[in-house]
């Protein structure tokens, strides 16, 4: 079993303000794509952000993960510079709800973005020939995209999510690769989370943990890294993803 690089245990503390991303940008499958880590690595990971798009917290998590596994990490801009503004959450007015629903049906359409992810990894396989195994993870909405792209004939060897969104047990049943699922305290009804967990537990290669003190979004754009507990669990969550991918890629 591959070990996580020692960097996983020796990375600097989580930056709480004004994080400066370490990566660069390329175009991949027609999308502006953030690139972090080693372009000559044998491990590759495609990250799928949450509905708020490119954000400092999401970049920081991606950079930490890339460094921890000594891998290549790619994060395409699925929304092409037009994510859902953070100011629209919570959607507590009719106008906000309407805007959010239109966004989910348009830019965030599930099927179209699964296709984008599949196209991105296929192009990445040709571009980065040193990479032997590809994985993917997604945050909230992105977790739905990642698991749906991990069914039969997938190019991914492992997949994962943190604070998953739009849970559906049939997604787990169709997933053909090891899957890491990090729940928050509020990712769905207890009944649905329980059913989803039970489905995941049928495969011993899957990893499941609930972060019972964390809000939905603690590893993505809604991470409150100025809060010591959130910063600690943000770091722990990305370390767990790193260990999972180090084992399966």
What distance in Å separates the CA atoms of residue 138 and residue 181, rounded to the nearest whole number?
10
Fold of 19-248: Rossmann fold (3.40.50)
The pTM (predicted TM-score) of the whole model is: 0.93
Q: What is the pLDDT of residue 4?
A: 39
Alpha-carbon torsion, ordered 57, 200, 240, 127, to 10 deg: -70
Q: What is the pLDDT of residue 83?
A: 96
Q: What is the pLDDT along the chain (249 residues), one digit of tens a residue?
A: 344 344 334 455 677 678 999 999 999 999 999 999 999 999 999 999 999 999 999 999 999 999 999 999 999 999 999 999 988 888 889 999 899 999 999 999 999 999 999 999 999 999 999 999 999 999 999 999 999 999 999 999 999 999 999 999 999 999 999 999 999 999 999 999 999 999 999 999 999 999 999 999 999 999 999 999 999 999 999 999 999 999 999
Q: What is the pLDDT of residue 13?
A: 63
DSSP result, 130-174: T--EEEEEEETHHHHHHHHTSSTT-SEEEEEEES--S--HHHHHH
- CA nearest neighbour of 119 among 217, 242, 28, 233: 28
Q: What is the pLDDT of residue 11?
A: 54
What distance in Å separates the CA atoms of residue 40 and residue 180, rounded to the nearest whole number?
25
Q: What is the pLDDT of residue 3?
A: 41
- CA nearest neighbour of 16 among 240, 237, 227, 163: 227
Q: What is the pLDDT of residue 20?
A: 95
Q: What is the pLDDT of residue 92?
A: 86
What distance in Å separates the CA atoms of residue 196 and residue 178, rounded to the nearest whole number?
15
């Amino acid at each position: 079993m591959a070990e996580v690089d020692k960097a996983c245990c020796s990375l600097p503390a989580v930056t709480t303000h004004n994080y400066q991303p370490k990566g660069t940008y390329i175009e991949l499958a027609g999308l502006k794509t953030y690139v972090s880590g080693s372009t000559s690595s044998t491990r590759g990971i495609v990250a799928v952000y949450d509905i708020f798009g490119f954000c400092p917290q999401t970049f920081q998590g991606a950079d930490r993960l890339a460094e921890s596994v000594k891998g290549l990490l790619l994060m395409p801009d699925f929304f092409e510079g037009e994510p859902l503004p953070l100011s629209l959450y919570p959607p507590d007015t009719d106008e906000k709800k309407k805007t959010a629903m239109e966004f989910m049906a348009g830019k965030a359409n599930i099927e179209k973005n699964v296709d984008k992810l599949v196209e991105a990894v296929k192009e990445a396989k040709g571009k980065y020939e040193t990479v032997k195994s590809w994985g993917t993870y997604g945050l909230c909405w992105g977790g739905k995209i990642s698991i749906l792209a991990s069914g039969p004939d997938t190019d991914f060897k492992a997949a994962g999510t943190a604070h998953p969104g739009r849970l559906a047990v049939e997604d787990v049943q169709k997933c053909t690769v090891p899957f890491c699922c990090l729940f928050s305290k509020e990712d769905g009804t207890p009944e649905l989370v329980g059913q989803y967990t039970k489905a995941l537990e049928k495969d011993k290669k899957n990893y499941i943990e609930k972060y019972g003190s964390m809000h939905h979004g603690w590893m993505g754009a809604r991470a409150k890294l100025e809060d010591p507990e959130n910063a600690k669990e943000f770091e722990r969550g990305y370390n767990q993803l790193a260990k999972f991918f180090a084992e399966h890629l």
